[in-house]
A and B are shown apart, each in its own frame.
Chain A
């Protein structure tokens, strides 16, 4: 029982973490809370699905298509919803509102294009193999989701630490104004940030679509809201924090459901969210933030 739950927590946590990574990255670099991140995630799942069903691509290629499609969608999102506000130096709350609008548009577009019903990847997309070790069962899908998510997260962390763009990204996160004085092309970094963050959302969309075998225009909303709990728990803008928090939230949910009650599964995330905000708004890895009314 315990080991089975642990396995479940690990693969689910990897999807949460992958989703939350891009979510928190955009906040870290741009101070934007992008509530359309869940909609991009949903479109990523559909891009992957279309690549498999309409273009007969193998799943690994479909994953790349989904990431590319979601990444480009992210750039468009920035152009339409955020850049005009940035130009005007609009307050932070305006960007939240704009992202909500963008999310509504993306969801209704998907609803119009694909209908409201649930679609799924064909059964033979991945072999339906199951590994067992004693009482623990793991499906091939879960193993792949977990492994590829870890690889993507490691790649992102390396990118942030090692590459020129990654370092520039961190500089912009520290201060956009100083960065541009240092000769960093801030616009390009913003585009990169949106591309990377959205591509990761797209990948997690495909993974969740595969694992739960359910893709619909509304699949973004729950993870969007849970993702909020993850990025708050990890500390807004804190990338390693988001990864850790993703696993933590998944573990809390999985074990909470197993040992307490399944009815309030969805309430766990939001209770965590509100508690963290009240007790430690800077998150588990954050430093104390001065709070004054």
Chain B
């Protein structure tokens, strides 16, 4: 009786669960940049690179999934490194804009590379839709599990402390011997690697990739995970991804107005929950039964106004 019920639920929600796991990985990819005080909207572009590279390898060379995943992540990581070196000198608004520009360049590239090359590679606007389904639920669970391990270990190292210091005051961090540019590059490359791998898993889950899936809207969706869930600790973006993946399922009655949920959540979160649902300081205070509200905003303020 109960097992039957659970099996039914599983059948209905399995794919939502899988999407939530992919969303968690993507949320973690933007989280790592936010944690060093960078607003980067490049994750969707990295995901797209990973998805195409992985899918093309699988289709043409019949590589096993693991190889495709590693290759896709690596491709995104290399692009991330090449992009990050010049772009991370920018700060604040300017970096956000540069990464939006990057996402668009990737989209336009995937859309038009076939015409330029004179043969079918990415399939233009139609994308690739003959990708074998290879991603299993347990792959995704394992993937997110590994990412959690990664972040837990980062938290317990000088690298994690340096990330937090840079977010809170990068001048002070620098005068304590922290190489701000290098750590931000590290975060950016990690972000690209994670998004690239997530892209490969996603392509082998939906059998399908197309350029427009990963455009600006994709970037915004990913951002929403981390803003709602919180970006001060790894649990935040995961919680955000799960809520925002399951929520629309529960809000089917909204019909065509459904995408509005993301926008409303984004505004409400940034105004009323600036540190996200999972705020370690807040919970630590609750734990200690002290009542003071969490003080200053976590992202850096006006000193970042000019590049």
Interface set of A (CB-CB < 8 Å, partner B): 31, 33, 80-81, 84-85, 88-94, 96-98, 100-109, 111-112, 115, 221, 225, 228-229, 232, 236, 261, 263-264, 266-267, 269-271, 273-274, 277-278, 281-282, 289-291, 293
Give Cα A155–Cα B129 distance, bound, in whole angstroms. Answer: 52
Residue numbers in A under 8 Å from B96 (CB-CB): 33, 93, 96
**Are B39 and A105 in contact, CB atoms less than 8 angstroms apart?**
no
Note all chain A residues with C-beta closer than 8 A to B97. 33, 228, 232, 273, 277
B81 in contact (CB, < 8 A) = no
Residue of A nearest to B219 (CB): A100
Q: Which of A109, A228, A229, A271 contacts B260 (CB 8 A)?
A: A109
Q: Are A94 and B274 in touch, CB under 8 angstroms?
A: yes
Cα–Cα, bound, A112→B100 (Å)? 26
- Whether B263 contacts A103 by the Cβ 8 Å rule is yes
Name the distance in Å between A40's Cβ and chain B's nearest Cβ.
Answer: 14
A contact residues around B180 at 8 Å (CB): 293
Contact check, B270 vs A98: say whether CB atoms are below 8 A apart.
yes
Q: How far is the CA of A105 from the CA of B184 in the complex (A)?
A: 32
Query: How many of chain B's residues have a CB under 8 angstroms from any CB in A?
Result: 59
Instruction: Please report whether the interface of chain B is mostly helix, strand, loop or mixed according to DSSP.
Output: helix
Partner of A225, one of B100, B263, B304: B100
B102 near A105 with CB under 8 A, answer no
A291 to B224, CA, bound (A): 29
Q: Are B299 and A107 in contact (CB under 8 A)?
A: no
Q: Distance in Å from the Cβ of A149 to the closest Cβ of chain B?
A: 24
> Which residues of chain B come closer than 8 Å to A84, judged between CB atoms?
271
Q: Are A274 and B267 in contact (CB under 8 A)?
A: no
Shortest CB distance B1–A (Å): 41
**Cβ–Cβ < 8 Å partners of A93 in chain B:** 39, 92-93, 96, 299, 304
Of B47-55, B103-111, B147-155, B232-240, the one touching chain A: B103-111
The reply on B87 being an interface residue by CB < 8 A is yes
- Are B39 and A101 touching (Cβ within 8 A)? no
Contact B304 A91 (CB under 8 A): yes
Asked whether B223 lies within 8 Å of A97 as measured between CB atoms, the reply is yes
Residues of B within 8 A of A228 (CB): 97, 100-101
Partner of A101, one of B87, B98, B109, B265: B265
Docked complex Cα distance between A101 and B267 (Å) = 5
> Can you offer 9 A-B residue contacts whose CB atoms are under 8 A?
A33-B93, A94-B297, A97-B266, A100-B263, A221-B216, A274-B101, A277-B94, A293-B181, A293-B184
Tell me if B262 is interfacial: C-beta within 8 Å of chain A. Answer: yes
Q: Give the 8 A-B residue pairs with the shortest CB-CB distance, closest first.
A: A101-B266, A104-B263, A105-B263, A101-B267, A112-B257, A263-B112, A108-B259, A108-B260
B264 x A101 contact (CB < 8 A): yes
Q: Which of B94, B105, B174, B184 contacts A271 (CB 8 A)?
A: B105
User: Which residues of B are found within 8 Å of A80, using beta-carbon distances?
Assistant: 267
One of B87, B92, B115, B263 near A278 (C-beta < 8 A) = B87
Q: Are B98 and A274 in contact (CB under 8 A)?
A: yes
Structural contact, A293 and B88, CB atoms closer than 8 A:
yes
Known: A94-B297, A108-B257, A236-B93. Contact between A267 and B87, CB under 8 A? no
- Chain B residue with minimal CB distance to A275? B101
User: Chain A contacts of B258 at CB under 8 A?
Assistant: 108
Whether the Cβ atoms of B274 and A273 lie closer than 8 Å is no
Q: Known A-B contacts: A102-B263, A111-B256, A274-B105. Give 15 more (CB < 8 A).
A: A33-B93, A93-B39, A93-B304, A101-B265, A109-B260, A221-B216, A232-B94, A264-B108, A267-B104, A270-B105, A273-B101, A278-B86, A293-B91, A293-B174, A293-B184
Q: Within 8 Å CB of B297, what residues of A?
A: 88-91, 94
Task: List CB contacts (< 8 Å) of B267-305 with chain A.
Answer: 267, 270-271, 274, 297, 299-302, 304-305
Q: B264 and A85: CB pair below 8 A? A: no
In the complex, residue of chain B having the shortest beta-carbon distance to the beta carbon of A236: B93
Contact A97 B259 (CB under 8 A): no
A104 in complex: contacting residue of B93, B262, B271, CB < 8 Å: B262
Choose among A97, A108, A221 the residue with the greatest number of B CB atoms under 10 Å from its CB: A97
Interface flag for B306 (CB, 8 Å): yes
Quick check: is B116 within 8 A (CB to CB) of the other chain? Answer: yes
- B177 contacts A by Cβ under 8 Å: no
Decide if A229 touches B101 in the complex (CB within 8 Å).
yes
